[in-house]
Structure 1
């Protein structure tokens, strides 16, 4: 079991490196989420990453790196898995309605327990396929979920007018850009410098209605 103070140090240093200012209670709540994820991971295999220090970098800081691009009052996190990036975003930038969507029952059970245990106001978890979700959202996040073409084919109907679709990718998905369906346009591709990831490439593709 990694000492919580070591996790806190890595998290706080990473938040500083990202240039973020978070609510006063965000760091302890993010660490509570991590502890819950670690505990459930033993039985449910929610993430392949087992080392809590690695989880800080690859899950928490990776999720927080997109915060400058998150907008609006409603957010849907598609293919959220164990709540990434949706739960870290909800903790770090509270006040919006967040819908966490995953088709995996085990993961959604964890999400509902996390929402209850962490008292995440305005956050809901839904077990369904993306194409069956209803509603319109100001911001949509998707982390390593599918190709841009598939994401927008399945979930494009969920993006509100003027909304931003934030697709979290590894390397620049140059081969996927031609597959962006009519009606949508790439607004920008941003390299994300995730503290602690070293040479691992992270990019955020921001899309909107054409």
Structure 2
């Protein structure tokens, strides 16, 4: 009987913490000029619950506490609205390169159901998690592919197809640019989610971006509302077509980055 009582108490505490995280998330989003429906909030809740459940047997994230996940994963993913207003996320196509556990692509897909989101990751286990999560959430605007970015960009129908390419992957700007720019249509954007300190990356990053047909359009740095977490977003506009020789073969962009 005591075990059942303790389990109930634990469950109640977890539900309370999740509710607090959700309420905080709603307030944080309002600072970005965003509101979500009860259905969308329920999808984020299910996403969180599945993430921490699967994370017990698979290394998806080191962040598992309710408030932290909602702020440093969900809110952070949606911080792109600092560059592209929510009203503009209609009938857009977005590709997320090196999506990992689905960030930033899945939160964008939940928040903007009229946007088509493609998730690309090189690890089969993560892809399986993403497929199961998308099915669990009933998302019909998400497409998932198991591939390295360098190989996926060789598929002719995927090149210069997307309005926006995003990546929160851990790599320097010049490397991310070679992974992402080939997917962006002329006039579209590549947006890199970077840490606060990016100055040392910018010179090489700008050179790489220019080689790939783009130009750094905006760089914004800010603190995520209600947190001590600093984020920098780099927005690159695609002005010219990317040469067919990019990206180079798998592994080369990281080993021999452009612009160095």
Q: Note if contact 1:18-1:194 (Cα within 8 Å) is conserved in structure 2.
A: no
Could you tell me how far 1:121 is from its partner in structure 2? 0.9
The aligned residue for residue 142 of structure 1 is: 167
27, 35, 41: which is aligned to 1:21?
35
204, 224, 233: which is aligned to 1:204?
233
Question: Any residues of structure 2 matched to 1:124-135 within 5 Å, and which?
Answer: 124-133=143-152, 134=155, 135=158
The aligned residue for residue 174 of structure 1 is: 199
Could you tell me how far 1:120 is from its partner in structure 2? 0.8
- 2:95 corresponds to 1:76: yes
Q: Secondary structure at the match of 2:120?
A: strand
- 2:206 corresponds to 1:192: no
Q: Secondary structure at the match of 1:66?
A: helix
- 2:115 corresponds to 1:96: yes
The aligned residue for residue 111 of structure 1 is: 130
* Counterpart-to-counterpart distance in 2, 1:50 and 1:5: 15
Q: Which has the higher contact order (CA 8 A, sep 6+)?
A: 1
Query: Gaps (5+ residues) in structure 1?
Result: none
Q: Note if contact 2:180-2:190 (Cα within 8 Å) is conserved in structure 1.
A: no
Could you tell me how far 1:114 is from its partner in structure 2? 0.8
- 2:183 corresponds to 1:158: yes
Q: Note if contact 1:65-1:192 (Cα within 8 Å) is conserved in structure 2.
A: no
Q: Which runs of 4+ in 1 moved over 3 A?
A: 68-72
Cα distance, 1:170–1:208 mapped onto 2, change above 3 Å = same
Matched residues, number: 209
CA RMSD of aligned residues (A): 1.7
Could you tell me how far 1:92 is from its partner in structure 2? 0.5
* Counterpart-to-counterpart distance in 1, 2:198 and 2:83: 18
46, 49, 55: which is aligned to 1:32?
46
What is the TM-score of this pair, normalised by structure 2? 0.75
Q: Secondary structure at the match of 2:164?
A: strand
Q: Note if contact 2:103-2:168 (Cα within 8 Å) is conserved in structure 1.
A: yes
- 2:77 corresponds to 1:47: no
Could you tell me how far 1:109 is from its partner in structure 2? 0.7
* Counterpart-to-counterpart distance in 1, 2:188 and 2:197: 22
Query: Gaps (5+ residues) in structure 2?
Result: 1-10, 240-260
Query: Larger Rg: 1 or 2?
Result: 2
Question: Relative to structure 2, which stretch is displaced further, 113-122 or 70-79?
Answer: 70-79
Q: Secondary structure at the match of 1:44?
A: coil
1:139-195 Cα deviation digits (max 9, x unpaired): 011014321111122332111111111100111411222223222210000123312
What is the TM-score of this pair, normalised by structure 1? 0.92
Q: Note if contact 1:168-1:203 (Cα within 8 Å) is conserved in structure 2.
A: yes
